[in-house]
Structure 1
């Protein structure tokens, strides 16, 4: 049996922060102040988390995930799956290149703003999603 590779928790934390940033800002088009109020987490804490200044905040991540309709472990599985697919796609794309090293979008200079392969909601779908989540 081949030895198992250790989980790079630093990359996983950054990956979750990046996926959450994309879900919050791009897919759902949510206001960070509203999300911080709903979560409830501090507004500046959430902004720092989404800007990768504090990517190890499990508490922030779990509360935001619940507001977005994900259990924290579901969000982690989604992120791990996306990271695995991204790694395989990049390995195929750079096959045969010497000195190539995997760099996730948040590690690139300048950082990529949204995950490749993710499709944002159209404005009408976003409004419908917002109406469904409104309790009133």
Structure 2
């Protein structure tokens, strides 16, 4: 991973083998920020797992085995109550037949490169807390 910063904007390049969630959480610890809007991401990933939450608050997962284009990625980063960085990401992938796959991104490993833009929210006070009777971890604003 390499990154550059201009004010509250951070531009990141992730390299082959790096997992996107893990890398962004590590970046939050390295730079020392608690909140960010992840405004864009593009690149090539492999073994990407995405899905959706049903009406009963349970996630359903699908995996694209092998490579796929990361067409769009957006989301946010906040800290859990214990201080750990937590990323909430949604993405659209395109398989090698150009079929789109979209939803909540659970995991994606960089295959060639992924480029991302983050806007640090230096004044924001927000925490990720579990919702009762749900797999979702919601934002709480202090």
TM above 0.5, yes or no, is: no
Query: Would you tell me which structure has more strand in proportion to its own residues?
Result: 2
TM-score when scaled to structure 1? Answer: 0.24
TM-score when scaled to structure 2? Answer: 0.24
